[in-house]
């Protein structure tokens, strides 16, 4: 049966067996209380986020987080998941270690609807790597410069961590390639820091 046609008691039953993570429990409690108290306005608000207990709780939590970046539309994708994060002024900055090869070391920065910024970082040290993209779950920055500096530092930190963790694993940690990337990142970070200092000096 379609979720919206379930009775309040049936929805409560589904909520009670839903395995919420710690961060979701407050949303489960609020929705549960609204159903028990027949608070139709609150119930309607929760149920505007999906057609199942899982969609409702997860989408509502993500929606609240997205408001830190000014994303307030309730837009769902074809699978019923919230899809309202549209970062603007997105920049991807690449650090090339080998010409003609795919770029695996790069940072991405983007601006939310309210002027707040976040970043994504991708890294590779040869046979090992990882990363993450722009997301409302990332740390919030007040300016592009602050965000850029943080992204550059994060890329440096990831290479340093890999250098230590894989120091006896040359297959996964190619020191030559890592050094090429780190040198480029350091140079850009220094430029960013100097530019900020000059701005403070002349202001």
Helix H or strand E segment including 153: helix 144-165
- 59 is a domain residue: yes
Are residues 57 and 82 in contact, defined by beta-carbon separation less than 8 angstroms? no
Looking at residues 76-101, what average pLDDT do you find? Answer: 94
Q: For the chain, list the strands marked E by DSSP.
A: 88-94, 106-111, 117-124, 129-132
pLDDT one-digit tens code per residue, 135-186: 999 999 999 999 999 999 999 999 999 999 998 999 999 999 999 999 999 9
Q: How far is 154 from 157, CA to CA, in rounded Å?
A: 5
**Token pair recorded at residue 51:** 């057609």
Residue 113 belongs to domain spanning? 88-202
The answer to whether residue 78 is domain-embedded is no
Tell me if 169 is assigned to some domain: yes
The confidence band for 51, taking pLDDT boundaries of 50, 70 and 90, is: very high
Phi-psi region of 86 (alpha: psi -120 to 50; beta: other; left: phi over 0): beta
Residue 77 counted as domain residue: no
Does residue 82 belong to any structural domain of this protein?
no
Tell me, yes or no, whether 81 lies in a domain: no
Residue 190 and residue 100 share a domain: yes
Binned at pLDDT 50, 70 and 90, residue 195 comes out as: low
Number of domains within the chain:
2
Helices 175-202 and 144-165: angle between axes, nearest 10 degrees = 150
């Amino acid at each position: 049966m379609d979720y919206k046609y379930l009775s309040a008691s049936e929805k409560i039953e589904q909520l009670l067996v839903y395995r919420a993570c710690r961060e979701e429990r407050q949303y489960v409690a609020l929705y549960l209380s609204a159903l028990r108290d027949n608070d139709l306005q609150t119930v309607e608000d929760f149920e505007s986020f999906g057609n199942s207990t899982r969609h409702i709780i997860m989408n509502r939590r993500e929606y609240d987080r997205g408001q830190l970046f000014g994303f307030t539309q309730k837009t769902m994708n074809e699978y019923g998941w919230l899809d309202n994060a549209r970062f603007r002024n997105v920049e991807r900055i690449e650090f090339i270690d080998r010409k003609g090869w795919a770029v695996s070391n790069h940072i991405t920065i983007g601006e939310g609807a309210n002027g707040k910024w976040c970043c994504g970082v991708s890294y590779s040290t040869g046979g090992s790597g990882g990363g993450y993209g722009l997301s409302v779950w990332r740390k919030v920055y007040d300016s592009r410069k602050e965000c850029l500096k943080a992204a550059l530092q994060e890329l440096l930190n990831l290479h340093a961590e890999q250098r230590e963790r894989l120091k006896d694993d040359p297959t996964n940690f190619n020191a030559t390639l890592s050094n090429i990337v780190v040198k480029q990142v350091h140079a850009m970070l220094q430029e960013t820091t100097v530019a900020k200092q000059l701005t403070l000096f002349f202001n």
